[in-house]
Amino acid sequence: MPNPKPNAPKSMRKAVVEDTLLMKVVQKYFKLAGAVSVVWLVGYFKFSVSWLWLLLVVYVWKDRNTKAKQHKTAISQEIARDEKSVILARVEDLPSWVNFPDVERAEWMNKILDQMWPYIGEFVEKILRESVEPSVKSSLPASFKSFKFSTIDLGDIPPRIGGVKVYTQLRRDEIYMDLEINYSSDCNIAVSIKGINAGIKDFRLHGTLRVVFKPLINKSPLIGGMLVFFLNNPEIDFNLTSLANAFDLPGLSDMLHSIIQEQIANFMVLPNRFPIKLAEGLDLNKLRYPQPQGVVRVKVLEAKDLLKSDISLTGKGKSDPYVVLKVGAKEVKTRIINNTVQPVWNETFEMIVDSADGQLLYIDVFDDDPGSKDDELGRVNMDLSQLKEIGFEDEWLPLEDVKQGMIHVQLTWLWLANDPLELDRVMEQVMQDTRLDKTLEENKTHVAMLLVFLDSAMNLPRGKKTLQEPSPQAVLSVGQQEMESSVRPNTNEPRWEESFRFMLHNPNYQNLEVEIKDTKSKKPIGGTLVKLKELLVAEDMVLDQKFHIKTSEGDSYVNMRLALRILTPNANPEWMDLDDNLIEEVPKKADPGTSVDSKSEEAAAKSAANGSSVDQSRNQARSSGKAESVERGEGDVTAAAQAETLDNAQTAPPQESGLRQRNVVKNEAGEFELGRIQMTFRYSQGRERLVIVVHKCSSLKPIEGDSKNLADPYVRMYLLPDKSSSSKKKTKVIKDELNPVFDETFEYSVSETELARRTLEVTVKNEVGMFSSSKTFMGTLLLDLSTLDVSRAVTSWFDLAPEHQVKSTSFESDI
């Protein structure tokens, strides 16, 4: 009913009001009559009353969910229209520039977006109708070829940029820019299939979008290209329209949201990137596939004091907890531990990190509820840029968004090394850790990463009878890991230009298998096998060449670039500064079977013939060093020095995991022949806690009088000058052992200023019975904590000393 005009006579306005009231009464009557009719029909047809209760539950849930979405949408759209007037009313929706000093306000960019939005809308509509719609039609079955976009309306509200953060302390030819995107749109996009319409509206997205300008060039337009991607999964929400509204039910709605979230991740969340070419001559593959910055190894140990999510009739509840880890688009989860609030997992995972700056490790704890949505037991986020700096974290982390609960995790940053000698050190360390920790055998810790850039294939055979060109797809596998390329229809020279990454257990024995199949006939075309040990002797551990494909006819080749990188916790400036464009370049054209890098190919061929790897690498380095030095006029001195350096590196003892390693073991029993102890120290500045991990002892001296000529050792610590019970820390007792392994973590609450005035007393003792005459003292040491570098974790071996010869030991003198 239209509203009366302001200057209309009173009689007319009164009539309009009465008509409006009458219509409301009529509508209310028919609603009540409809409800009563439904109840009558249920009774008439003798339906169970359970159906009414089910419909009531669904109606209440949908009504509450719809109102909550409408409220959130209204607030978001109001902020988008007038941020300043709403900013004080909604504190939790404050943009990032309010809370973070290094984030700048970008109102000028919002004004530009607002002005350009109508034109952006037309551009997006053109892309959807001319590119996306034909592509979707071609991939659908024949019965759904009527697919089309019936409505494309991006609305009047453009995205808002809450803040901008620019990184300039990087390489000279690149700029990173992080944009906080808040898109609360009034869009309406619908599709039609056979006259049936379905769509979404009020789409909302919030996340951090990174824009990389790279490379910077000295000619117009000064920027060669751009990369656009989300660092982590953005938060999304939307409302459904028409037929799709039927999916807005419990379970179905969550499934639909997760599907859309996954599709966005596959397109725009790391490691996936959207490249934009700005300068002529730039190959987009140089932007699309950079080398990862590293790998984070996450060991989920245990949790304690979790919420009791499953309440029983007796009032004593439990939970069925599991942990989900996320880095970018990658997600893994632990096994479920049933009926406990003190779960122990001891599971190790390795997550590839493409960009540590700004990227987070998400740790979410859930309670498993089969048949319904899993309950949240808390979450915590870890900044990977900080882990990259310190190298190692061993923390009990309080869970957020819940009243109680903590989770214990160990995090190790692994660099990507291009030194084949580092593989031996890492392999030996992994074997040692596996012997000490049996859980590592189940998780199969990896030691290397294989980066594969699949460029193209040539001269693939056609069908024998029809001579039709195939629709080839490549299947790449290393062990149990298998990945597929996209399909290139109707061509015998497909160009894929795709990247793949494999984690390796031992590249000395593993192979890369590439099989090309025809998706039309479902028959294999041919394949090739590459022994990964060939990469160990290649220059920079990279092979960039054409590999022969074994087919039924003709000379067929696949063009690939392979790069092997060793996963090591040892920080080395040469590995930190490795060129991140290792698999960017498209492999160069070369004669069939000929490597682009002749040196690499010759070395690989020799390695395959002799079956050697690291030893040949040393000999090759020695000979090549000599040749290069003669060429430069330096004589044989440089070559000899290079060979000696490689020999020394090969015979050096394995380094311990962690950021800093100390004390190359010369005497396993220590200076005083009483044995040695290995410990890790780290100071948490945020929590003001000194975290100490007692790893193990070695070569302890047997106790006189022990029947087995052994000992029952344990470790006791005091934070001097305090020798009270609160300062005393004690490990468990290891029976009948002179090389005990403890791996126990202890914490002292102490400020950084007070820490510099403290000394840690560490004593290894032998447990004795009440009537035993055996000695209890086995060795001791005093550590001057003022010399501890509080900015990083330190793992070290220390010599045990007799009581009368003990003296204060500094961390600096222990190198």
Question: What is the pLDDT, as a whole number, of residue 263?
Answer: 63
How confident is residue 96, by pLDDT bands cut at 50, 70 and 90?
low
Lowest pLDDT segment from 152-161, 713-722, 725-734, 772-781: 772-781
Entry pTM:
0.54
Q: What is the pLDDT of residues 271-302, one digit of tens each?
A: 777 788 888 777 666 666 778 888 999 999 99
* Architecture of the domain spanning 448-647: Sandwich (2.60)
113 is written with which tokens?
Answer: 């977006």
Decide if 213 contacts 173 (C-beta within 8 A).
Answer: no
Question: What is the pLDDT, as a whole number, of residue 620?
Answer: 42
More confident residue, 375 or 716: 716
Q: What is the pLDDT of residues 17-37, one digit of tens each?
A: 566 667 767 777 777 777 777
Give the bridge partners for 763, in sequence order.
Answer: 716, 780
Quote the mean pLDDT of the chain: 75
Question: What is the pLDDT, as a whole number, of residue 293?
Answer: 85
3-state SS, residue 564: strand
Strands 481-484 and 495-504: unpaired
Is the pLDDT confidence value at 160 over 80?
yes
Lowest pLDDT segment from 23-27, 523-527, 642-646: 642-646
More confident residue, 170 or 326: 326
CA 26 to chain centre: 59
How confident is residue 187, by pLDDT bands cut at 50, 70 and 90?
confident
Is the pLDDT confidence value at 758 over 70?
yes
Which of 634, 652, 658, 624 is closest to 540 using CA atoms? 624
User: Averaged over 335-358, what is the pLDDT?
Assistant: 88
User: Averaged over 466-490, what is the pLDDT?
Assistant: 86
Task: Give domain 662-814's CATH superfamily.
Answer: C2 domain (2.60.40.150)
More confident residue, 481 or 646: 481
More confident residue, 216 or 141: 216
Which of 542, 581, 755, 778 is closest to 669 using CA atoms? 778
Give the burial class of 745: count Cβ atoms within 10 A of its Cβ; 0-12 exposed, 13-18 middle, 19 or more buried: middle
User: Averaged over 479-508, what is the pLDDT?
Assistant: 88
Is the pLDDT confidence value at 691 over 70?
yes
Rounded CA separation 90/76 (Å): 10
User: Averaged over 548-563, what is the pLDDT?
Assistant: 83
Lowest pLDDT segment from 366-370, 439-443, 662-666: 662-666
Q: What proportion of the chain, given as a percentage, has pLDDT over 70? A: 70
CATH number of 297-413: 2.60.40.150
Q: Is the peptide bond before 569 cis (omega within 30 degrees of 0)?
A: no
Rounded CA separation 132/694 (Å): 59
Rounded CA separation 61/161 (Å): 33
Is the pLDDT confidence value at 142 over 60?
yes
Q: What is the pLDDT of residues 447-463, one digit of tens each?
A: 999 999 898 898 888 76
